[in-house]
Amino acid sequence: MTNVMVVGGGPAGLRAAESLARFGLEVTLVEQESYLGGAVARHRYQVLMPHFDSGPAVLDRMVSAVAENPRIHIRTGSRIGQVEETDDGFQVEILGRETGVESVRAVVLATGFTHFDPRRDTKYGYGLFPDVITGAELEEMMASGPVTRPSTGEVPKSVAFIYCVGSRDRQVGNTYCSRVCCAVSAKQGIEVREQLPGARLVMFYMDVRTYGLWEDELYWRAQEDAGVVYVKGRVAEITQRDGRPVLKGEDTLVRGPFEWEFDLVVLAAGMEPGEATAELAAQFGIEREPHGFFQQTRPMENASVTSHPGVFVAGAASGPKTIEDSVMEGEVAAMAVLRYLDSKVTV
Amino acid sequence: MNPTETHLKLDPDEVGIQDAESLLHAIQSDVRYHEAIHGCLNCGVCSGSCPSHRFFDYSPRIVVQTLLSGDAEAVKGMMDEYIWACAQCYTCAMRCPLHNSPGGLVMIMREVAVWRGMEAVHRLLKPYGRVLLKVLSIGNQLTPDMIQPDFFPDWGPKIPWSSTDLAIKRQAIPVYTLQVTNSAWRVSPETSYELYTIYEETGVFRLIEQIDPNLYEVVADMVEELRESVEEARAR
């Protein structure tokens, strides 16, 4: 029986594992956390961008498809140890509750991303001011109850969203766009409006990148239906006055310098390569692209092809990506594995 | 790069040349220029950070945008008054997502403005006559005897104490060269002599003559006197 390993149990990895198993392969799914679902599960996303799907419903569908498939062997709480290349694949050591070595013909790396930690960009006062939170923390807040100010538990009368935190910024070493945060913030603005009909909601942006069909569905809708105000200007610094965050910056298009107080500030923290990316690249002998993600070597042909035969990539491990694109790449990687194994048999 | 090339192309023959295109060329050919400007997303984090932007008609973003536009007349117009509102704190450079240094660009523009003897420089540097004289005579900028409450009306209540009994307080500093009050540290006549040679060779004296003839007269007397005494000492 042909065995394939999928590393990472987020949307991309779950989809890759599900499809490979449906095509009849034995799949070992390795996940470092104790649960499946990746960032969707970690931050308990309730409403998913862009179509406002139910996060728990999507997660349940993805996870149960994997959990109920007898060909998929789930190894949560596990990491990759030594990797040795053999004539027909890899000997991969799995470190975890059940440590052991697996023989696999191909590997799909779907290790995802980590959120940028805004403590690294001190101008936002994240970690210092309790009412400055990240977008992921807002998701967690909305999953467990109403939106409140962490400092007092009060309902906020004003909420600011700051774009491009940890993205598009040489100062923090990330010169790329994280791609989804503009649209996720618009989605969050629309959701927050439902809870806070009278609140002042403001987005501070450099550019608004709500690609393609998201333009009217998210960006215009945030303004037209949810009354969200967009201000072009990267916030220069956050201080605190009388227990409230104060945002200082320049409204570059209209009002010039500003110093505005908000009850709650949400930082749209971008995506960075997952912590294990460099190590896994070395273990499996694949290249990383200049920003540190796994390199897609032939993206015009197949999104999952890496610099090493038999090693494939899917999802945000190769760059910032939406959930739906990650799912799609999981499928793409499964197809690529099949083609690869087929060519190895027939050639 | 030619190792003998200075960081700023200060050609003594260019003192006084003020046509807009040549000013822009001087700014853009400075070796620091391309380190200080990369692109600009108009995000406004520089001006949002800028202490002067809050209170003056000054924006580091507009400095960057104007230079990128290549509009020489607009750049020249900025050199008259606009860029002199910059406090040179470089917070803009610390925050710019593209690693631009608007403060660094302002520094280059100011150096060119001074070098070319622009009218604004006469006006704006007037309050710095005392500092200029110190720099020219001994290479120091501020000296203890210049730090007097009259010149710093915004001092708090404590600091004026430090301007009293200067001689005694300076003697308490254990570093030998610092036990003076009319210079920041003891400067030998030989040092000033060399300094004057550098000023002369690099055209600084010609520049001073152009932008402040009165100051130049004082400086010329000072230089002549020191040179005579140093040369006499050498001869002995």
Please check whether residues B98 and B129 belong to one and the same domain: no
Average pLDDT, chain B: 89
Contact criterion met (CB < 8 Å) for A170 and B41: no
The shortest C-alpha distance from A157 to chain B (Å) reads 24
Please check whether residues A218 and A278 belong to one and the same domain: no
Write the residue in B43, B54, B99 that is nearest to A233 by C-beta. Answer: B43
List the one residue out of A241, A55, A87, A22 whose CA is nearest residue A151: A241
Q: What band does B1 get if pLDDT is binned at 50, 70 and 90?
A: very low
The shortest C-alpha distance from B154 to chain A (Å) reads 25
CA distance A48 to A322: 10
Q: Does residue B42 lie within any of the structural domains?
A: yes
Residue B121 has pLDDT above 90, yes or no: no
Please check whether residues B61 and B20 belong to one and the same domain: yes
The radius of gyration of chain A from alpha carbons, rounded to an integer in Å, stands at 22
Please check whether residues A293 and A173 belong to one and the same domain: no
Closest-CA residue of chain A to B40: A206
Residue A44 backbone phi and psi in degrees, to 5:
50, 50
Q: Does residue B107 lie within any of the structural domains?
A: yes
The dihedral built from the CA positions of residue A243, A250, A126 and A77, taken in this order, carries a sign that is: positive
Q: Nearest 5 degrees, angle CA A282-CA A284-CA A289?
A: 60
Closest-CA residue of chain B to A204: B43
Residue B68 has pLDDT above 50, yes or no: yes
Give the per-residue pLDDT at A53: 97
| Torsion from C-alpha of A280, A282, A288, A294, nearest 10 degrees | -20
Residue B2 has pLDDT above 60, yes or no: no
Residue B117 has pLDDT above 80, yes or no: yes
Which residue in A206, A246, A252 has the most chain B C-beta atoms within 10 A of its own C-beta, making it the best mutation to test that interface?
A252
Q: Does residue B7 lie within any of the structural domains?
A: no
In the numeric block, the tokens 């004289």 are attached to B133
Give the per-residue pLDDT at A345: 55
Please check whether residues A90 and A123 belong to one and the same domain: no
Write out pLDDT tens, residues A97-112: 889 999 999 999 999 9
Residue A234 has pLDDT above 60, yes or no: yes
What is the CATH classification number for the domain harbouring B45? Answer: 1.10.1060.10
Q: Does residue B86 lie within any of the structural domains?
A: yes
Q: Of A214, A243, A270, at which residue does a domain stop?
A: A270
Decide if B83 contacts B110 (C-beta within 8 A).
Answer: yes
Residues of A with CB under 8 A from a CB of B: 123, 164, 168-171, 206-207, 232-237, 248-252, 256-258
The arithmetic mean of pLDDT across residues A224-248, rounded, is 97
CA distance A133 to A159: 11
Please check whether residues A218 and A317 belong to one and the same domain: no
Write out pLDDT tens, residues B151-208: 777 777 777 887 889 889 998 999 988 899 988 999 999 999 999 999 998 888 888 8
Which residues span the domain enclosing B80?
12-116
Q: What is the value of pTM for the model shown?
A: 0.86
Q: Based on the number of CB atoms within 10 Å of its own CB, is A324 exposed (0-12), middle (13-18) or buried (19 or more)?
A: middle
Decide if A54 contacts A47 (C-beta within 8 A).
Answer: yes
Question: Which residues does chain A have within 8 Å of residue B49's beta carbon, measured at their own beta carbons?
Answer: 236-237, 248
Please check whether residues B106 and B167 belong to one and the same domain: no
Tokens read off for B145: 């005897």
Write the residue in B42, B48, B99 that is nearest to A170 by C-beta. Answer: B99
Contact criterion met (CB < 8 Å) for A171 and B47: no
Please check whether residues B43 and B106 belong to one and the same domain: yes
Q: Of A270, A297, A318, at which residue does a domain stop?
A: A270
Give the per-residue pLDDT at B9: 55
Please check whether residues B84 and B47 belong to one and the same domain: yes
Please check whether residues A132 and A258 belong to one and the same domain: yes
CA distance B196 to B186: 17
Q: Does residue B177 lie within any of the structural domains?
A: yes
Contact criterion met (CB < 8 Å) for A164 and B59: no
Contact map slice: B 64-103 vs A, CB within 8 A: 94-99
Q: Touching check for B44 and chain A: CB below 8 Å?
A: yes
Q: What band does A347 get if pLDDT is binned at 50, 70 and 90?
A: very low
| Torsion from C-alpha of A229, A232, A237, A239, nearest 10 degrees | -20
Contact criterion met (CB < 8 Å) for A233 and B41: no
Domains of chain A: total: 2
Q: What band does A1 get if pLDDT is binned at 50, 70 and 90?
A: low
CA distance A31 to A110: 10
Write the residue in B47, B48, B97 that is nearest to A170 by C-beta. Answer: B97
Q: Based on the number of CB atoms within 10 Å of its own CB, is A22 exposed (0-12), middle (13-18) or buried (19 or more)?
A: middle
The arithmetic mean of pLDDT across residues B80-90, rounded, is 95
Which residues touch B102 (CB under 8 Å, ≥6 apart)? B36, B46, B60, B61, B63, B64, B86, B92, B93, B96
Q: Touching check for B51 and chain A: CB below 8 Å?
A: no
Contact criterion met (CB < 8 Å) for A170 and B61: no
Q: Does residue B4 lie within any of the structural domains?
A: no
Ranking B44-53, B97-106, B210-219 by mean pLDDT, the lowest is B210-219
Residue A15 has pLDDT above 90, yes or no: yes
Please check whether residues B94 and B178 belong to one and the same domain: no
Q: Of B69, B98, B116, at which residue does a domain stop?
A: B116
Above 0.90 for ipTM, yes or no?
no
Please check whether residues B166 and B217 belong to one and the same domain: yes
Give the per-residue pLDDT at B145: 86
What is the CATH classification number for the domain harbouring A281? Answer: 3.50.50.60
The shortest C-alpha distance from A169 to chain B (Å) reads 4
Decide if B125 contacts A197 (C-beta within 8 A).
Answer: no
Inter-axis angle of helices B102-115 and B60-69, to 10 degrees? Answer: 70
Decide if A219 contacts A186 (C-beta within 8 A).
Answer: yes
Please check whether residues B155 and B83 belong to one and the same domain: no
Ranking A78-87, B7-16, B24-33, B132-141 by mean pLDDT, the lowest is B7-16
Which amino acid, A260?
A: W
Please check whether residues B42 and B102 belong to one and the same domain: yes
Q: Of B92, B116, B140, at which residue does a domain stop?
A: B116
Query: In this predicted model, which residue has the larger pLDDT, B121 or A82?
Result: A82
CA distance B27 to B32: 9
Which residues span the domain enclosing A71?
3-112+274-346
The arithmetic mean of pLDDT across residues A293-307, rounded, is 96
Please check whether residues B144 and B105 belong to one and the same domain: no
Average pLDDT, chain A: 96
Contact criterion met (CB < 8 Å) for A234 and B45: yes
Domains of chain B: total: 2
Write out pLDDT tens, residues B33-53: 999 999 999 999 999 999 999
Please check whether residues A22 and A100 belong to one and the same domain: yes
Which residues touch A234 (CB under 8 Å, ≥6 apart)? A163, A164, A204, A206, A249, B43, B44, B45, B48, B97
Q: Of B116, B140, B166, at which residue does a domain stop?
A: B116
Contact criterion met (CB < 8 Å) for B48 and A169: no
Give the per-residue pLDDT at A121: 97
Between chain A and chain B, the number of residue pairs with CB atoms below 8 A apart is 67
List the one residue out of A298, A299, A294 whose CA is nearest residue A280: A294
Question: Which residues does chain A have within 8 Å of residue B100's beta carbon, measured at their own beta carbons?
Answer: none
The arithmetic mean of pLDDT across residues A84-89, rounded, is 94
Q: Does residue B184 lie within any of the structural domains?
A: yes
Distances (CA, A) of B207 to A283, B37, B199, B231: 64, 28, 10, 25
Give the per-residue pLDDT at B85: 94
Write the residue in A164, A237, A251 that is nearest to B49 by C-beta. Answer: A237
Please check whether residues A172 and A248 belong to one and the same domain: yes
Which residue in B35, B41, B42, B43 has the most chain A C-beta atoms within 10 A of its own C-beta, making it the best mutation to test that interface?
B43
Please check whether residues A132 and A264 belong to one and the same domain: yes
Please check whether residues A132 and A260 belong to one and the same domain: yes
Ranking A281-290, A291-300, B167-176 by mean pLDDT, the lowest is B167-176
Please check whether residues B161 and B105 belong to one and the same domain: no
List the one residue out of A330, A256, A274 whose CA is nearest residue A16: A330
Decide if A81 contacts A306 (C-beta within 8 A).
Answer: no
Q: What percent of chain B has pLDDT over 70?
A: 95
Residue A4 backbone phi and psi in degrees, to 5:
-125, 140
Contact map slice: B 129-168 vs A, CB within 8 A: none
H or E element that contains A280: helix A277-284
Secondary structure (3-state) at B194: helix
Write the residue in B41, B53, B95 that is nearest to A206 by C-beta. Answer: B41
Distances (CA, A) of A56 to A31, A45, A135, A152, A172: 19, 7, 18, 29, 33
The shortest C-alpha distance from A173 to chain B (Å) reads 9
Q: Does residue B6 lie within any of the structural domains?
A: no
The arithmetic mean of pLDDT across residues A16-45, rounded, is 97
Please check whether residues A161 and A259 belong to one and the same domain: yes
Structure letter (DSSP) for residue A156: P
Q: Of A222, A241, A270, at which residue does a domain stop?
A: A270
The shortest C-alpha distance from A256 to chain B (Å) reads 8
Please check whether residues B37 and B58 belong to one and the same domain: yes
Residue A190 has pLDDT above 70, yes or no: yes
